[in-house]
Amino acid sequence: MKEKIRKVVVVGGGTAGWMSAALLKRVLGEQVAIELVESEQIGIVGVGEATIPPIQHVNAVLGLNEAEFLRETKSTIKLAIRFENWRKQGDSYYHTFGAPGKSQAFCHFHHFWTRAQQAGDSSSLWDYDLNYLCAEAGKFAKLKVDDPMWELHYAYHFDASLYGAFLRKYSEQRGVKRTEGLVEQVNIHPESGHVESLVLKSGKVIEGDFFVDCSGIRGLLIHKKLGTGYEDWGHWLPCDRAMAVPSERFEETLPYTRSIAHSAGWQWRIPLQHRNGNGLVYSSNHYSDEQAADILLNNLESKALTDPKIIPFRTGRTRKQWNRNVVAVGLSSGFLEPLESTSIYLIQSAIVRLIHLFPHAGVSSDLVDEYNRQSQREYELIRDFIILHYYLNERDDSQFWRDARNMDVPDRLTEKIGLFRSNGGLVQDQLDIFLEPSWLQVMLGQGVIPQDYHPIADSLTNAQLKEKLANTKKLKMEPLPKIPSHDQFLEMFCKAG
């Protein structure tokens, strides 16, 4: 059915709902009316607090003032994730948003480094990455530089409920209509099968031409009403529960997320200006909720502020994220555990995709198919990147890790690991949010050492190679003394803005 889209109804007021409403309103303006329905009785998940750098595009499109954003959402800066005990107990590495060294003549820096390693050099690849150097030193500044060599790539940690409130205020000020109420019924057009209207508990009817289902894990429209199928990826990513608890803030806030592996899952630690976010992602086949609570609470480094909250989840994706006149955004579209903080990015990407393919003149199969093809690919690529962390482990302390090491992984992942292991080769798949430096850091951090390097790295003499590495390290270290501590930055920047 082709009908002009004049009104979009967003169902749900969590991170997905308010990001959708804010971005759609900002970009589509007066072309469509936007109404958001949410129920305070149900509430939000409220645990998505770590992001990746593309969040800055959202802020730029919305025209947000960064200092105000940091203040209002109690944000801190995120330069990296530090993975602890993932390869083996006692071992750690960073996945930073930066990149080591500087590429030369189509040859990534790590090939030169690999050649030097084979000749006996013992430096760490991360010594050549400014993001790492600042993360380790607890420093941050917004550097204005001409050379990408000194760029600091960053994202934010923020308080999810404050972020939602911030976007709600933004959206309402620009004309998004918010309706409080519990959706009890969804009406379908008898011929087209499209959603026509929602009926609230109060009896109020909300009509729309197009619906964005941001109702969270329950997927009120996409699953409950339209019965869209779900692809389960639990055989690759066996964690199926999370337990979250906030704790008191530390004296010093670190500019990175910590991810600490345990015998059947992992714990996150996210520093905010006013508190820490903590949680354990675990497999219910290996830990009872009581065991999980013991592990989480015994490993907090500051006093818990509430009782832990349990969040069951099912890893996978909704088969057709756009079905008829409904697009699922956020948890209703699928779930990948928060190991690489990708869910909020997936919300962003879904809305941007919807804006690109917006059915102004009505829903058509070419738009729907293209949307679904891209979303599927994007989900699969992130899934593979997360599997990588589990698969490349050398831990021998539990069956959980032995099983992860011995699983059959998707073919594309096998190819990528094989290529890197044989000659340090990295590939950039279209629609993969994780660029080559991300794959490099996780493969190396998880213990894959390239057996060979690109022949271009042989273009230098031994002395030139030594000098190149020494110079790169020196140049990367150069700005450090002038960069303030992360806490000093937050204080100065938030006040000044």
Q: What is the DSSP letter of 53?
A: T
Out of 45, 77, 133, 368, the only residue in the binding site for ligand FAD (CB under 6 A) is 45
Our answer to whether residue 78 is catalytic in this structure is yes
Out of 49, 209, 240, 432, the only residue in the binding site for ligand FAD (CB under 6 A) is 49
244 counts as binding ligand FAD under rule CB under 6 A: yes
Out of 80, 141, 176, 220, the only residue in the binding site for ligand FAD (CB under 6 A) is 220
- Cβ 180 to ligand FAD, closest distance in Å? 9
DSSP string, 275-316: EEEEEEEE-TTT--HHHHHHHHHHT-SS-BSS--EEEE---E
Out of 47, 80, 326, 388, the only residue in the binding site for ligand FAD (CB under 6 A) is 47
Out of 10, 16, 176, 254, the only residue in the binding site for ligand FAD (CB under 6 A) is 16
Q: Within positions 292 to 351, which residues make up the interface with ligand FAD, using CB under 6 A? A: 311, 313, 330-331, 338, 341, 343-344, 347
376 counts as binding ligand FAD under rule CB under 6 A: no
- Given the residues 4, 7, 74, 78, the one annotated as active site: 78
Q: What is the DSSP letter of 81?
A: E
437 counts as binding ligand FAD under rule CB under 6 A: no
38 counts as binding ligand FAD under rule CB under 6 A: yes
- Cβ 416 to ligand FAD, closest distance in Å? 23
Out of 37, 133, 327, 465, the only residue in the binding site for ligand FAD (CB under 6 A) is 37
Kindly tell me which of 375 and 472 has the beta carbon lying closer to ligand FAD. Answer: 375
Kindly tell me which of 245 and 465 has the beta carbon lying closer to ligand FAD. Answer: 245
Tell me the two tokens of residue 491. 């204080």
Taking CA atoms, 272 is separated from 103, 220, 359, 426, in Å, by 34, 32, 39, 34
Please tell me the distance from the alpha carbon of residue 398 to that of residue 241, in angstroms, as a whole number: 18
Out of 8, 10, 13, 219, the only residue in the binding site for ligand FAD (CB under 6 A) is 13
Handedness of CA 90, 96, 100, 104 (dihedral sign): positive
283 counts as binding ligand FAD under rule CB under 6 A: no
- Cβ 243 to ligand FAD, closest distance in Å? 8
Taking CA atoms, 402 is separated from 234, 267, 385, 406, in Å, by 16, 19, 19, 6
The side-by-side arrangement of strands in the sheet containing 230-232 is: 230-232, 316-318, 334-335
93 counts as binding ligand FAD under rule CB under 6 A: no
Kindly tell me which of 51 and 267 has the beta carbon lying closer to ligand FAD. Answer: 51
Kindly tell me which of 128 and 266 has the beta carbon lying closer to ligand FAD. Answer: 266
What residue has token string 């992602």? 281
Taking CA atoms, 410 is separated from 14, 211, 354, in Å, by 32, 33, 28
Please tell me the distance from the alpha carbon of residue 205 to that of residue 29, in angstroms, as a whole number: 24
Cα dihedral value 239, 243, 244, 247, nearest 10: -120
- Cβ 396 to ligand FAD, closest distance in Å? 27
152 counts as binding ligand FAD under rule CB under 6 A: no
- Cβ 347 to ligand FAD, closest distance in Å? 6
Kindly tell me which of 103 and 161 has the beta carbon lying closer to ligand FAD. Answer: 161
Please tell me the distance from the alpha carbon of residue 466 to that of residue 445, in angstroms, as a whole number: 23
Kindly tell me which of 304 and 311 has the beta carbon lying closer to ligand FAD. Answer: 311
Please tell me the distance from the alpha carbon of residue 339 to that of residue 322, in angstroms, as a whole number: 26
Kindly tell me the burial class for residue 429, based on how many C-beta atoms sit within 10 Å of its own C-beta (0-12, 13-18, 19 or more): middle
- Cβ 44 to ligand FAD, closest distance in Å? 3
Strand partners, 271: 276
Q: Within positions 58 to 77, which residues make up the interface with ligand FAD, using CB under 6 A? A: none
Kindly tell me which of 39 and 441 has the beta carbon lying closer to ligand FAD. Answer: 39
Task: Pick the closest to residue 375 from 357, 392, 361 (CA basis).
Answer: 357
- Cβ 112 to ligand FAD, closest distance in Å? 34
The CB-based long-range contact list for 397-403 (8 Å cut-off, 24+ gap) reads 397/89, 397/263, 398/263, 398/264, 398/286, 399/286, 400/238, 400/263, 400/264, 400/265, 400/283, 400/286, 401/263, 403/238
Binding footprint of ligand FAD on the chain (CB under 6 A): 12-17, 37-39, 42-45, 47-51, 160, 182-183, 214-216, 218, 220, 242, 244, 279, 311, 313, 330-331, 338, 341, 343-344, 347
Q: Which residues are catalytic?
A: 78
